[in-house]
Amino acid sequence: MRTVKTAQITKTIADLCIRANYELSSDVLCALKSALRKETNSTAKDILKQLIENASIARRERIPICQDTGFAVVLVELGQDVKIAGGTLEKAINDGVKLGYKKGYLRKSIVAHPLDRKNTKTNIPAHIHIDHVPGNKIKIKFMAKGGGAENCSQIKLFKPTASEKEIKAFIVDVVKQAGASACPPLIIGIGKGGTFDKAVFLAKKSLFRKIGSKNRDKISARLEKELLAEINKTGIGPAGLGGNTTALAVFIEPFPCHIASLPVAVNIECHAHRVKEAII
């Protein structure tokens, strides 16, 4: 057994919150630059240039990439040979988010109850998911998930006999409905299969993949390519003002499902895609 103190986890999480919100990851930046090279619409080019400049100002001047510094989503791969000392893992993570959002001058966007809407003023609780894996390490993946794009997400429970064409049409329609409001160019996370809730979680989980990485599932890899091409033909473009760059990536996470079911969840993510990871 390896012992990891909660203080180290808290410090790591705080650092991830800050870095994610100030430093746009290289895969997203490369995707924006590559889109700028391929884009033919002049307004679209202007917007993409603004986004690249925005990322550079954020990094240099320590201003968050976007004022919506998000809901803290934390995925943990916890090695089975790790013993956590000093408290619970969940508390260590929430303490880290609280610290990071305070120290980093990040916006606290979480309200304690959906109806009375009093701000917790700490940006916690985080949305935490823990997977148990072999080994003696802790892998932590952090995402600052903005509310605007999240609001444009949808799920549809298809009949198991549904065609690929119907499923693709649904996904493209979700993107069209999100359009300008979700801050395109978008990243589309799709969860396919499982139960109602599993599909939604997989859609979120898929967003942690690096742009440009290949899907190990052959069917999903093909569909990702076809969907990206179709979405970029909609003409929505950056900020919804037209162009060929409506999405930077499509990620699909499949899962076995019931003979009666075929859930398809679409989690919409904006270009301010703030994901960072660390290993303890």
Other beta carbons within 10 angstroms of residue 216's beta carbon come to: 7
Which candidate, 30, 24, 19, places its Cα nearest to that of 212? 30
Structure tokens at 94: 């929430």
Q: Is 61 in the site for another protein (CB under 8 A)?
A: yes
Amino acid 248 reads L
Q: Is 28 in the site for another protein (CB under 8 A)?
A: no
Among 14, 18, 66, 262, binds another protein (CB under 8 A): 66
Structure tokens at 126: 């985080």
CB of 269 to another protein, least distance (A): 11
Of 86 and 148, CB closest to another protein: 148
CB of 104 to another protein, least distance (A): 9
Burial code of 226-241, b = ≥16 C-beta within 10 A, e = fewer? ebbebbbebebbbbbe
Q: Is 167 in the site for another protein (CB under 8 A)?
A: no
> From residue 198 to residue 217, what is the string marking binding to another protein with x (rule CB under 8 A)?
--------------------
CB of 198 to another protein, least distance (A): 28
Structure tokens at 20: 């994610």
Q: Is 117 in the site for another protein (CB under 8 A)?
A: yes
Of 105 and 196, CB closest to another protein: 105
CB of 235 to another protein, least distance (A): 9
Q: Is 106 in the site for another protein (CB under 8 A)?
A: yes
Q: Where are the alpha helices (DSSP H) in the chain?
A: 6-22, 26-38, 42-61, 89-103, 147-150, 164-178, 196-206, 218-232
CA distances from 87 to 25, 53, 192, 204 (A): 32, 42, 36, 28
Q: Is 253 in the site for another protein (CB under 8 A)?
A: no
List binders of another protein among 67-86 (CB under 8 A).
67-69
CB of 199 to another protein, least distance (A): 25
Quickly tell me which residue has 């075929």 as its tokens.
Answer: 262
Residue 253 and residue 191: Cα distance in Å, rounded? 5
Of 53 and 197, CB closest to another protein: 53
Amino acid 128 reads I
CB of 153 to another protein, least distance (A): 13
Which candidate, 82, 44, 87, places its Cα nearest to that of 271? 44
Q: Is 240 in the site for another protein (CB under 8 A)?
A: yes
Of 24 and 89, CB closest to another protein: 24
Cβ pair 217, 252 in contact under 8 A = yes
Q: Is 228 in the site for another protein (CB under 8 A)?
A: no
- Evaluate the CA torsion angle 28, 34, 36, 39 in order and state its sign: negative
Query: Which residues are near another protein by CB under 8 A?
Result: 43, 47, 50-51, 53-55, 57-58, 61-69, 105-109, 117, 119, 121, 146, 148, 151, 177, 179-183, 239-241, 270-272
